[in-house]
Amino acid sequence: MSSTESPAFGLIIVGDEILSGKRTDKHMARVIELLGARGLSLAWAEYVGDDPARITAALRRAFEGPDIVFSTGGIGATPDDHTRQCAAAALGVPLALHPEAAQLIRERMQDTAREQGVPYEPDRADNVHRLNMGVFPQGASIIPNPYNKIPGFSVHDVHFVPGFPVMAWPMVEWVLDRRYAHLRREVAIAERSLIVFGAMEASLTPLMEALESEFTGIKVFSLPSVDHPQYGRHIELGVKGDTRQLEPAYARLKRGLSDFGASIGAELVR
């Protein structure tokens, strides 16, 4: 990565319930939205089931790579939660009870006892077990959880949050605004596209290559469809990137399609 390039963002989503279809993932769409609000974008995402070997391998790649990565799910203290242990294994470091996390978890248990009108018993077996949620890889820092105080954690540029959206999303925002505010882009990223009929992607490739060569910060995308309920067989062809370059690039795209003799349908704005 050159000194002028921004780091890429990645997302690891952990949980058998996603891969089995019992639950629908909501994290990727929300993380894309949170990044987009800051002029940033998601470069990649990976789904991993509750398999320690696969989780460890995914996290090892994240720790060894240059990207900023968010990992959701599996940081609880039940038998199917493996992410904390796998993170330590991927790093080759021991697990340790984080002092600040322990304090926050104890505060949460005290709050719960007060809400229920019962005494707080720190030595009760279930309360002792709850402290395991604050056992992180050695050297981790905490991510505050505004929902129930049970923190997530960060190691380097890999950040671990719960699988519950109500907790995970404000924690991701906190990381973005506290750790990576300097990466925020005031220039928004947007896209313009249109529907093209009667053309093949291969024949449009020279135009796409010319656009990316002419306009710095612009990417061209092509999304073919053979059975769209509204447009039938078509290609959605468009440009996305820096708004300062977007309109000139889009105008150039339309001129190129006109010169090509393509049949143009609806224009789309996102």
- In the chain, DSSP finds a helix count (H) and a strand count (E) of 9, 12
- Would you say residue 161 has pLDDT above 80? yes
- Would you say residue 4 has pLDDT above 70? no
* 147, 166 contact by CB (below 8 A): yes
Instruction: Give the pair of three-digit tokens for residue 160.
Output: 């671990």
Looking at 149, 183, 217, which one is the last position of a domain?
Answer: 183
Write the CA distances from 246 to 36, 80, 146, 194, 223, integer angstroms.
16, 46, 38, 14, 18
Q: Quote the mean pLDDT of the chain.
A: 92
Q: pLDDT tens for residues 97-132?
A: 999 999 999 999 999 999 999 999 999 999 999 999
Q: Token pair 């612009």 is at which residue?
A: 218
Instruction: Please report whether residue 134 resides in a domain.
Output: yes
* 56, 89 contact by CB (below 8 A): yes
Instruction: Please report whether residue 3 resides in a domain.
Output: no
DSSP alpha helix (H) spans, 92-242: 99-116, 125-130, 165-179, 201-214
Q: Are residues 129 and 217 in the same domain?
A: no
- Would you say residue 221 has pLDDT above 70? yes
Q: Are residues 145 and 33 in the same domain?
A: yes
pLDDT of 3: 39
Q: How many domains does the chain have?
A: 2
Give the predicted TM-score (pTM) of the model: 0.80
**Side chain identity at residue 122, one-letter code:** P
pLDDT of 229: 87
Q: pLDDT tens for residues 178-206?
A: 999 999 886 556 789 999 998 888 889 99
SS3 212: helix
223 vs 243, residue with greater confidence: 223
Q: What is the mean pLDDT of residues 9-13?
A: 98
Looking at 183, 205, 234, which one is the last position of a domain?
Answer: 183
- Would you say residue 233 has pLDDT above 50? yes
- CATH of residue 193's domain is 3.30.70.2860
Q: What is the mean pLDDT of residues 47-75?
A: 97
* 108, 152 contact by CB (below 8 A): no
